[in-house]
Structure 1
């Protein structure tokens, strides 16, 4: 290659050399993936290139890049081969789409002169990935690579942010690429929104006396100075978040009352019935976020703020505001200086928060079944052992969902949370935690996952070790797929020959077998609450020293989260006989 980053022009030995130089110029620090058979990507990597994390499974690579993007707020980059490599990555791309994660997927494609339907691993990847990504392009001409890379980078960042796919046919990998001008990687941010006294949305916000503020995932990285907390205080609002909005609002704030929808606690439900306005920041209001809301006829107006018109829900009455959450909130703050508050509403917010904490003490004071640990107790131990600036990366299985329910787990302002989208792709949190670690700036990263999810990423432990991704992985062990097992009864199939768990896996001997030492991984099995704190403390010490740690914790299948356990189901293990 002639020419370097920052040069006005350059000639590259092949497409991957151009890609690497572009990513270096754009400030990308990490790529994840599994190179295609030609390995020409490796020829392009130099000492100051973006770091390539070679994964064992393209799905995990896409999960890892998505986790990186969600934590960093800048594009994750995933590189894959063709055919099955592209389809393997597709689940991770789907997760990025619904998480609103900026993700650039670069794949190899069949050479243009060999597209016939009989070429090795030939697949119309554009048709496969096109419906899932926000933008895609196959670069058939070397002259199109430079503008295609720049466009892909811009489209991934949005708005709206999301996954994009760029395909490099095989002939480009060794074809000389010429760049006749400097790389264009920066985009001017949009002008901030402006409101005046005639704005109907501002008028509705000012009039509200019993408001609720719902913080969604679109607020991620849009609240660096605490403007959303100040807005909530000025508005006098009760504050909830969606699952993907966890960590966007300080949950130690006296106004925060947990998650909306499926994860709403009974003590907070009356506020939703009595509110006179709901303001949503950066949420598509998907099903789990609105589960249990009053009927449309009884629901107060909903003022929705989204950066993109496609993010608005058409199901609710109320004003819609297009703009960056950060800009909108900052612009609205002065308009609330003279707004009146309903003091009774403020008292109800404070009383509800007290009730939530009081209600949470009940399951925490119970007694575990022999040979198991209560999940609420496990979360309490994580909170006491791992520093508050930790990032919790979650799954969405039966007992993982304890961590979604406030205040069994609380995201502090200095920490954060990364959760699956409404797709809840199994294994995202387990594998994605590696990408989160790469973007976490030295903060502790804890993956809180079920044993089913852990099994799907276990082969990637070797990658975590090799790359120094010192994540503390807490595995909730109920013998397999606890959610599916619980649904056997709900669907009238209890007692049939099918089972989704193996009770033997969570008995002391089985758990110890599952925690057999993989090389250079600290692993421990916990079947007694008395040993929990010491085991977690030692595991955290290992991660702080740079070692991957896995803590396998035996739990009882019936130890389902409150609210979730109220759903009809059979939370009993099958008879081993």
Structure 2
């Protein structure tokens, strides 16, 4: 059937089972938006307030659903506004396809109005990108882009399409979606060596990363923990990959991990790392990380082996498939003494947050009550900063894809757009964005998107009037010189939310916590909660720069 390039884009999106796209129109994508009007009964379009919000929404949609997120932007500034969102997805291995328009082919390279070399700009932050200069190539390029976004280690792909290509006509021939490739298992010799390590270990520790979620390997991770009789620590990106209410869970590892996790890494005789790249925020001082024990690493990307830490056994492949093959290769283990030690440390070193503020409200109180009221079933997105760590520490995530955060790039302003995408992808679930006032001001305009579509997210703002995480470092390492981290903006948050069309609520004292959260959860539309907290609350434990992950600080007496 003879279709325009824009119509071919729509048909290819339908081939890929895409039901929702996020974007913002402009001159170079007029043909695409005209086709979206024609296909509006089959493809839902969410108009965000800013292209960056569209990229973050597509990202949140992908992370929470396991599908591929799609965003659309016009040429020039529209395309460049996607860059931070694309980089965020790239760092966290999120499957996303970004479609940008460009000027007509005869205007390329002439510094034309709203022209930019977006493929050149995004080359370092995409798995692959394209500029499609022939309508004959358009359909196969889109199909290939979706395949690459999901093949192996997932990630974003960008397709740049000149305007006249979207207006040209060509014969469209439907094709079935290309199946995801099947990665080979590691060599038998490596699998045998891994099984021997597992059988001989007396004090094993499992450390799980975001690859567990991306490969849907949470059931296999649980089976591994039970069969190996081992404690489990998760990275920030794997929150919910292992049930945090399970007695085997010992909290996060790394700069803001638990004391139990630090004692476990110091005491284990085998570290089993599944789907993790050993980020510097986890290893802290890499030269001191797990040097006393062998490391068994399972990862889909061979480039991650021995990149940050040296590993004894390298099992390259999809985490789910590798674990399924490995589990029958060793017997049920029992490590009673080791697990008793783990239980004793958990009881001795619980996470407790203290405050001297007049209202007495702490994020721990709020998040634990939120976990209780939602039965730990909500999806939480976050911005980046102290509130991000508190969310990971104090909400009990029980399932994969419940915790959505910018881990690798650390993008302030990510969470609100991501919450919109997550809510659109999961209309039957409660979605809450945990924010700080610094991050909130970066993309507050997306409240208008939530209000426009009546998307029932909750924006929970921990308001301390400072850039809390940076301020915490200034306390410790800069003698309390709070250079540009005391915000004290004049924003009236409740009025701002209401001006956008969002219901506003306030938590100003401990007695407000439960009734306000109950009221917010009962609302049928978007809600903003201004939760006032002490500016000197810290994220603890904390491993200072250059220190060993085995030696976290449990308190900060910075005034002394």
After TM superposition, is the score higher than 0.5? yes
Residue 470 of structure 1: CA displacement? 1.0
User: Which of 396, 400, 418 is residue 384 of structure 2 equivalent to?
Assistant: 396
Aligned match of 1:432 in 399, 418, 421?
A: 418
- Matched residue, 1:3: none
2:549 match? none
The aligned residue for residue 321 of structure 1 is: 315
Aligned to 1:525: 506
Query: Deviation per CA, 1:439-491, whole angstroms, max 9, x where unpaired?
Result: 22511111111111122221111111222321111101011422333444455
1:345-386 deviation line (CA, Å, top 9, x unaligned)? 121222233334xx23x43xx565124621111112212222
Partner of 2:72: 79
Provide closer, same or farther for how the CA distance between residues 51 and 44 of structure 1 changes in structure 2, counting only shifts above 3 A. Answer: same
Alpha-carbon distance change, 432 to 414 in structure 1, aligned in 2, over 3 angstroms: closer
Give the alignment partner of residue 484 of structure 1, picking from 454, 470, 482. Answer: 470
CA distance in 2, matches of 1:351, 1:567: 17
Taking structure 2 as the reference length, the TM-score comes to 0.91
Distance change (3 Å), C-alpha of 1:94 and 1:553: same
Indicate yes or no: 2:440 matched with 1:454: yes
Instruction: Name the structure 2 match of 1:217.
Output: 210
CA distance in 1, matches of 2:122, 2:430: 34
Aligned to 1:557: 535
5+ long unaligned stretches in structure 2: 544-552
SS in 1 for 2:130: strand
Aligned length: 545
- Tell me by how many angstroms 1:85 deviates: 1.4
Paired position in structure 2 for 1:575:
none
Offset from partner CA, 1:50-109 (integer Å, 9 cap, x none): 211111111111111111111111210011111111211100001000111001011112
CA distance in 2: counterparts of 1:156 and 1:391, whole angstroms: 24
Match for residue 4 of structure 1?
Answer: none
Q: 1:300 matched to which residue of 2? A: 293
Answer whether contact 1:486 1:571 (CA < 8 A) is retained: no
CA distance in 2, matches of 1:257, 1:459: 38
Quote the Cα distance in structure 2 between the aligned partners of 1:189 and 1:88. Answer: 32
Cα deviation digits, residues 412-463 of structure 1 (max 9, x gap): 2387211212211111122211111122251111111111112222111111
Whole-angstrom CA distance in 2 between matches of 1:129 and 1:304: 30
Corresponding residue for residue 501 of structure 1: 486
Q: For 1:206, what is the secondary structure of its paired residue?
A: helix
- For 2:151 and 2:180, the matched residues in 1 are separated by 12
Partner of 1:381: 369
Q: Which residue of 2 aligns with 1:19?
A: 9
Q: Distance in 1 between matches of 2:506 and 2:358?
A: 15
Shift of 1:294: 7.1
Q: CA deviation at 1:522?
A: 1.0
Residue segments in structure 1 that go unaligned for 5+ positions in a row: 1-9, 573-577
CA distance in 2, matches of 1:456, 1:52: 23
Q: Secondary structure at the match of 1:248?
A: coil
- Does the aligned pair in 1 maintain the 2:252–2:261 contact within 8 Å? no
Question: Is the contact between residue 437 and residue 462 of structure 2 (CA under 8 Å) also seen in structure 1?
Answer: yes
In structure 2, the CA distance between the partners of 1:143 and 1:230, relative to structure 1 (3 Å rule), is same
- Mapped to 2, the partners of 1:151 and 1:22 lie a distance apart of 11
Tell me the CA shift for residue 514 of structure 1: 5.5
The correspondence for 1:473, drawn from 450, 454, 459, is: 459
Aligned CA distance change for structure 1 residues 442 and 195 (closer, same or farther; 3 Å)? farther
Tell me by how many angstroms 1:21 deviates: 0.9
Cα-to-partner distance string for 1:103-138 (whole Å, 9 max, x where unaligned): 101111222211243310121111101111010111
In structure 2, relative to structure 1, the CA distance for the partners of 1:223 and 1:47 (3 Å cut) is closer
1:205 partner SS:
helix
1:43 matched to 2:24? The reply is no
Q: Secondary structure at the match of 2:386?
A: coil
CA distance in 1, matches of 2:338, 2:357: 41
Counterpart Cα distance in 2 of 1:460 and 1:19: 27
Aligned match of 1:463: 449
Q: CA deviation at 1:312?
A: 2.9
Equivalent residue for 1:55, pick from 48, 53, 61: 48
